[in-house]
Amino acid sequence: MDLALFDFDGTITTSDTWTPFMRLSVRPARIIAGQVLLAPVLVGHRLGMISSSAGRRAAVRIGFKGENAAAIRRLGVQYAATVLPGKVRPAALERIAWHQARGDQIVIVSASLDVYLLPWCASRGLDCVCTVLEERGGKLTGRYLRGDCTAAEKVRRLRERYELGRYATVYAYGDSGEDREMLELAQRKYYRWEEISAWEEVKLFDHPSV
């Protein structure tokens, strides 16, 4: 049996799914406040001073702290059923089906939020390792449980949950620098659906010759 690891946003999907969900689920008053409070974060991100992960954490604090957890999870289930199907690449589903036909273990590994990614994965019988919104007493805390599932954290959680040595071959599919560590973990690496032998080849995708 082989192991197939798929990033979600930009790999399985054609675009970001995190931001549209935030726009759907965060109350308008908080969105307005966030536009003001997150302005320095956005500028810092554009200047390369603040990571995407840090920006996501800041937005979650403003958007979700104190909100009813059950209500947000209901929105996540709705989002998974009605919005995500229009964002998924048919070719990605074909590749997942290929791995399923071979009897491989398939895991979606993503910084996307559990409230919508877990329902999407469950409907397809796929394992999921992702970012989890922290909940206490039925309310969201505005924090992540165990942090953002990105970069090296993806690999740490995979090693914690799966015995990687029991798989004959590990496949990994990603599309950004947040997937680097996961791709380096695998024997078969796919960046933006093209197979590479080492991460250093990624620069050919980002800076093609003319």
What pLDDT digit, counting tens, does each position of 166-176 carry? Answer: 999 999 999 99
Res. 59: pLDDT tops 50: yes
Judged by average pLDDT, the poorest of 47-51, 82-86, 184-188 is: 47-51
Structural domains of the chain in order of their starting residue, each with its CATH number: 3-206 (3.40.50.1000)
Tell me how far apart the alpha carbons of residues 106 and 100 are, in angstroms, rounded to a whole number. Answer: 8
Q: What is the 3-state secondary structure (H, E, C) of 77-102?
A: HHHHHHCHHHCECHHHHHHHHHHHHH
Judged by average pLDDT, the poorest of 39-48, 77-86, 114-123, 140-149 is: 39-48
- The pLDDT confidence band at residue 206, using thresholds 50, 70 and 90, is low
Statement: the pTM of the whole predicted model exceeds 0.95: no
For residue range 76-119, list pLDDT tens digits in order: 999 999 999 999 999 999 999 999 999 999 999 999 999 999 99
